[in-house]
Chains A and B, each alone.
Chain A
Amino acid sequence: MDPIDGEIRRALAVDPSPEFLARVRTHIASEPVPGRRFPWMVVAPAVFAMALLAIVLIVRRPSAPAPALLTARFPVGAVGTMPAVESVYARHARDAGTRFEELAAPKAEGRRREPEVLIAADEAKALRQLILGVREGRIDLARVLEATPITAAEPAPLDNIAIPPITITPLAGEQGVRQ
C-alpha cells in the first residue's frame, strides 16, 4: 500500500456518533412511506388518451334542441318552396352522378352554424294545428278570409296635396362677404 493511502485511511477512520442511526430513523419516520409509483410511461399515454376522448366528445356533441325550431318542427311539405329546392338538388345530383345526401350534407353543416330562427312553442303548436286543420278540411280558410276582407287604406288623391313654393330670402347686411 502506498504510504499516502495509509495516512488518508487513518484520517478517514472516523465513525458517526452512536445516536446517528437513531436520528436518521426518527427523521425518516416522519416521512411518508415511499410507495410504488406508476411509471410515467404508462400514465402519460393514458392521460393523453383520456384528454383526446374528452375533446372528441365535446366537439361532436349535438346541440340541445330548441323548444320549437322552424326548420326541425315544420314538415317539409308545409313550406311551399322546399319541394322545388329538393328537386333542383336531386336533379343536379343525378346529373353529376353523385348521391343527393352527399351533395346536401355540406349545406346542412353550413346551415347548422347559422343562427337558428326560433318560434315560441305555443305559436308553433297553434300554427301546426291550423295547417293540419286546413289539410284535413276541418278548417275552411276561405270563409275566414271572406268574413274579414283585407282592406287597405285608400291613399289620398295627388291633386289635393298642396305644396307651397320654396322661397329663399336674401341674407340681410354684408354677412358672408369675403374680406
Chain B
Amino acid sequence: MHEYTDRLAGRLVAVNAELEQEFEARLVESSTLAFRIAFSVLRHRQDAEEVAQEAFVKAYRRFSQLRDRDRFRAWLVRMTWRLAIDRQRSDRRRVAREHDQEAAPSPTAADELIARERAEHLWKAIDALPEKLRVVIVLANMEEHDVADVARLLSLPTGTVKSRLFLARQRLKEHLQWTR
C-alpha cells in the first residue's frame, strides 16, 4: 500500500514538474507577444506588463487544458486582448500615454518630434478602427505573422483575415491622409 502511494506521489510530482517545464517554455516564447498585444491597446508600458502578467496567470491556472502550443497562443492572444480592452475602458481618465519609445533613436530633437507626431497619428488611426479590424492589423504586424498565423490565432477563416486586413489598411491610409 505504501509502495503504491509512494509511486502515485512520485508520478504526480513528475507530472507537475513536466507541466511547469512546458509552461516555462510557453512563457519565454510568448511573453513578448502578450506584452505587445497589451501595449497596442494601452500604449503604456507598465499597464501592458500588468495585463500580460494577468493573462499568463490565468493561462497557468488553465494550463492542463492549454498544453497544445497553438491552442495556448491563440488563447493567450484573445485573453490578453480582452483584458487590455477592459483595462482601457476602465482607465479612460488616463491622459498621459507612453508612445513608441523603442523606435530608432532620432538624431535631433526635431526629428524626434516629427517621429512622435507620426506615431501619434498612427495610433489615433488604429484606435479609430473597429475592434475586429484592429486586432487583425496589429497581429499581422507582430512577430512576422502571416495571414495563416493570424487566422489560427483568432480562429478565423483565412479569407476573413485577408478581407479584414485589406479593409484595415484602406481605412488607415484614408485616416492618415486626412490628418496629415
Contact = CB atoms under 8 A, between A and B. Distances in A.
Contacts, number: 99
A12 interface: yes
A11 B27 contact: no
Nearest to B53: A24
B27 A20 contact: no
Contact of B119 (A11, A25, A28): A11
A36 interface: yes
B141 A31 contact: no
A20 B137 CA distance: 25
A111 interface: no
B27 A2 contact: no
Interface residues of A, number: 27
B137 A14 contact: no
Interface in A10-67: 10-17, 20-21, 23-25, 27-28, 31, 33-37
B23 to A, nearest CB: 8
Contacts of A4: 169, 172-173, 176
Contacts of A159: none
A25 B39 CA distance: 20
A34 B19 contact: yes
Between B49, B119, B140, the greatest number of chain A beta carbons within 10 A of the residue's beta carbon is seen for B49
B142 A34 contact: no
B28 interface: yes
B53 A27 contact: yes
Contact of B103 (A13, A23, A25, A34): A13
Nearest to B118: A7
A14 B36 contact: yes
A125 to B, nearest CB: 50
B61 A34 contact: yes
B122 A15 contact: no
A14 B100 contact: yes
Given A8-B141, A24-B27, A33 B16 contact: yes
B83 interface: no
B128 interface: no
B123 A11 contact: yes
Contact of B100 (A11, A17, A27): A11
B64 A35 contact: yes
B53 A20 contact: yes
A5 interface: yes
Interface of B: 12, 15-16, 19-20, 23, 27-28, 31-32, 35-36, 39-40, 45, 48-49, 52-53, 56-57, 60-64, 100-104, 118-119, 122-123, 126, 137-138, 140-142, 169, 172-173, 176
6 contacts: A5-B141, A11-B100, A16-B45, A24-B57, A28-B56, A33-B20
Q: Which 5 A-B pairs have the closest CB atoms?
A: A16-B35, A8-B141, A14-B102, A34-B63, A33-B16
